[in-house]
Chain A
Amino acid sequence: MPETNIRSAAGPPIPTHAELFLAFFKITLSGFGGTLPWTRRMFVEEKRWLTAQEFNDVYALCQFLPGPNIVNLTAVFGSRMRGPTGALAAWSGFLLVPFCVMLAAAVLYDRYGEVESVRRVLTGIAPAAAGLIIATVAKMAAPMFRKLGPAPFVVVATAVAIGLMRWPLLWVMLTMVPASIGLAWWVRR
């Protein structure tokens, strides 16, 4: 492993490949209702592999990289600790359990999805799941709507273009990304 991937020797212990795999494996076992709080607890509080500030920096980066945030976080963190193979160890440790759980869920849904009682439960859960997303977006958007600037306009335009107009993601992104960065640059000039 190239030494440049490993942090300074003075810092906390650097996890081995096996430790990386096991740490993320354990996180997914406890990660009911979102894995982020558990990841933070394991890394910052239990193992002390990262300081709170380092964790925030890594997470902020992963939040606006394309793709699933927390999966990206495993790769970025694993690669910082042990290079590309470290990234692979962390990534696979993180995905193994959820994949097996979801595969089992998929088989069960395929077989029992039309059973009356299952149907009823899902009919109740689906609107609640939609409500959770509404709360998530409200929490994310609230700070942006409290100050002047182009951000609220970009949020609404993106939501309408994709959610109501149902325009293809590719075209909306090709328009909105340069427009939004342009506006952000213009207000900061």
Chain B
Amino acid sequence: MKGDGDILLVLAVQFAIMALLALGGANAVVPEMHRQAVELRGWMSEREFADMFAISQAAPGPNVMMVTLIGYHVAGVAGAVVATFAMCGPTAILAQFLGRAWDGFKDAPWRIVVQAGLVPISVGLVGASAIVLTRASDHSWLAVVITVATAAVAYWTRWNPLWLIGIAGLAGLTGWV
């Protein structure tokens, strides 16, 4: 990769900004990661993005670790380290300060209003992730069936999601998807 320093700086700045803007966690940053990595910068294809999300869901640990995969893909081990720190570091520092300030305003009326305003936005962002990921991964009717079936089972039952991932992987291995 040429211009390693530059690309690391881009990774650091982009992921830190993304993390600070995305209310509601790892799933809320997926659309912006997709926009940056696939649409704007051409770091990877649609298919590679869907692959990386799938790997981050199947692997142990929080889903946010998808940034490690993207960072490695873009700039090797250094990229993986930089992307992970940028995504998980600044917001954790901010969370410490806000965590303390927030406790002081626990019952303030404005706090309740702010919270009521922010929660639907974070849900909307996860909804956007669902749209982006479905479009990136469903290229056959059987893939659509897998998406719908997984969503239904995960919504109405208490099965461990890993079983669903495993079954879908086996279905894929047959080559029908």
Given contacts A130-B147, A169-B31, A176-B121, is CB(A122)–CB(B51) below 8 Å? yes
Given contacts A74-B92, A101-B60, A169-B31, is CB(A124)–CB(B171) below 8 Å? yes
B143-159 contacts to A (CB < 8 Å) = 143-144, 146-155
Q: When the two chains form their complex, are residues B117 and A184 in contact, meaning their CB atoms are under 8 A apart?
A: yes
B120-177 contacts to A (CB < 8 Å) = 120-134, 136-138, 143-144, 146-155, 160-162, 164-165, 167-175, 177
Main secondary structure on B side of the interface with A: helix
Q: How many residues of B contact A (CB 8 A)?
A: 106
A11 within 8 A of B: no
**Contact pick for A64, options B23, B35, B90, B129, CB 8 Å:** B23
A48 within 8 A of B: no
Q: When the two chains form their complex, are residues B172 and A130 in contact, meaning their CB atoms are under 8 A apart?
A: no
Q: When the two chains form their complex, are residues B121 and A132 in contact, meaning their CB atoms are under 8 A apart?
A: no
Question: Shortest CB–CB separation between residue A183 and chain B, in angstroms?
Answer: 7
Q: Which residue of B lies closest to A88 (CB)?
A: B92
Complex contacts, A132 vs chain B, CB 8 Å = 57, 150-151, 154, 161, 164-165
**Contact pick for B65, options A102, A110, A154, A183, CB 8 Å:** A102
Q: When the two chains form their complex, are residues B88 and A68 in contact, meaning their CB atoms are under 8 A apart?
A: yes
Q: Which residue of A lies closest to B115 (CB)?
A: A64
CA distance A148 to B86 in the complex (A): 39
CA distance A64 to B136 in the complex (A): 27
Q: When the two chains form their complex, are residues A182 and B117 in contact, meaning their CB atoms are under 8 A apart?
A: yes
Given contacts A98-B60, A98-B65, is CB(A122)–CB(B88) below 8 Å? no
Q: Which residue of B lies closest to A151 (CB)?
A: B120
Q: Which residue of A lies closest to B84 (CB)?
A: A99
Q: When the two chains form their complex, are residues B121 and A130 in contact, meaning their CB atoms are under 8 A apart?
A: no
Complex contacts, A68 vs chain B, CB 8 Å = 19, 25-26, 62, 64, 87-88, 91
**Contact pick for A127, options B26, B138, B174, CB 8 Å:** B138
B13 within 8 A of A: no
B29-61 contacts to A (CB < 8 Å) = 30-32, 35, 39, 48, 50-61
Residue interface bits A105-142, CB-to-B below 8 A is 1, else 0: 11101100100010011111111111111111111110
Which residues of B are interface residues toward A (Cβ below 8 A)? Answer: 17-27, 30-32, 35, 39, 48, 50-62, 64-66, 68-69, 72-73, 77, 80, 84, 87-88, 90-96, 98-100, 102, 112-134, 136-138, 143-144, 146-155, 160-162, 164-165, 167-175, 177
Q: Which residue of A lies closest to B85 (CB)?
A: A95
Residue interface bits A62-104, CB-to-B below 8 A is 1, else 0: 1111111111101110011000100100010001011101110
Q: Which residue of B lies closest to A131 (CB)?
A: B150
Q: When the two chains form their complex, are residues A135 and B151 in contact, meaning their CB atoms are under 8 A apart?
A: yes
Q: When the two chains form their complex, are residues B169 and A124 in contact, meaning their CB atoms are under 8 A apart?
A: yes
CA distance A66 to B93 in the complex (A): 11
Complex contacts, B91 vs chain A, CB 8 Å = 65-68, 71-72
Complex contacts, B136 vs chain A, CB 8 Å = 126, 130
CA distance A152 to B33 in the complex (A): 25
Complex contacts, B151 vs chain A, CB 8 Å = 131-132, 134-135, 138
